[in-house]
């Protein structure tokens, strides 16, 4: 990305049908926007590792909060920060609870699991590749992570200020099984 900074490039998109061309173009636009966001604010460890380590720093601060509403709000944000890595591990078909605890135990926030490598070796049990996320190129844009956390905080405030919330039982029980 640094080599492209200040330069211009042309990307030609083709496809068998117009729908395929539009889908490919949309993917390229998404990638371009992700690169712009990363250049604007910087990058963090990807795969939910940055949010997991941020959640670890929230836990000791929960005790110091003045009232129960603040503690509930901080707890909701802490739980929301844990969701991405748990869903990534679960969707990859890996033992999400075991690997989640291992990633949580890493002292270096840039260490994590390369899920793609683990999926490629799915026939070999127990192959979960621990890597430095920076070296592996597994990054999340800081801007995207900030937006995610702002949305989680906004929803936490909404949940605390409403008297009643309707949820679908099916999706709620599915989420409980994942976590």
Could you read off the pLDDT of 63-91 as tens digits, one per residue? 677 787 777 777 877 888 888 888 888 88
Tokens of 80: 């929301």
Question: Which secondary-structure segment (H or E) carries 145?
Answer: helix 142-161
Which residues are within 8 A (CB) of 94 and not within 5 positions of it... i.e. 6 or more apart?
113, 115, 118, 128
Q: Tell me the pLDDT tens digit for each residue of 8-39.
A: 777 788 889 999 999 999 998 988 888 888 88
Write out the H or E segment, with its range, that includes residue 72: helix 68-91
pLDDT band at 123 (very low <50, low <70, confident <90, very high): very low
Of 90, 87, 81, nearest in space to 151 by CA: 81
- Which residue has better confidence, 40 or 127? 40
Which helix (H) or strand (E) is 43 found in, with range?
strand 43-45
**Selected residue with higher pLDDT from 140 and 122:** 140
How much is the CA Rg of the chain, to the nearest whole Å? 19
pLDDT of residue 179: 47
| pLDDT tens digit sequence for 134-178 | 888 888 889 988 888 888 778 777 877 887 777 766 654 554 454
C-beta contacts of 33-42 below 8 A and 24+ residues apart = 34/141, 34/144, 35/1, 37/141, 37/142, 37/143, 37/144, 38/1, 38/139, 38/141, 38/142, 38/143, 39/1, 39/5, 40/143, 41/141, 41/142, 41/143, 41/146, 42/141, 42/142
């Amino acid at each position: 990305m640094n080599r492209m900074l200040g330069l211009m490039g042309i990307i030609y998109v083709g496809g068998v049908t117009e729908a395929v061309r539009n889908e490919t173009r949309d993917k390229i636009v998404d990638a371009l926007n992700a690169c712009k966001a990363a250049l604007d604010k910087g990058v963090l460890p990807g795969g939910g590792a940055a949010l997991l380590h941020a959640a670890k720093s929230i836990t000791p601060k929960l005790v110091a909060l003045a009232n129960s509403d603040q503690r509930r709000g901080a707890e909701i944000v802490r739980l929301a920060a844990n969701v991405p890595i748990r869903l990534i591990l679960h969707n990859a078909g890996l033992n999400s609870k075991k690997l989640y605890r291992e990633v949580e135990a890493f002292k270096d926030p840039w260490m994590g699991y390369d899920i793609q490598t683990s999926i490629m070796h799915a026939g070999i049990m127990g192959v979960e590749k621990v890597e430095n996320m920076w070296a592996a190129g597994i990054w999340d844009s800081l801007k995207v992570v900030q937006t995610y956390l702002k949305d989680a905080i906004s929803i936490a405030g909404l949940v605390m200020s409403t008297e009643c919330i309707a949820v679908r039982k099916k999706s709620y029980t599915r989420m409980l099984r994942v976590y």
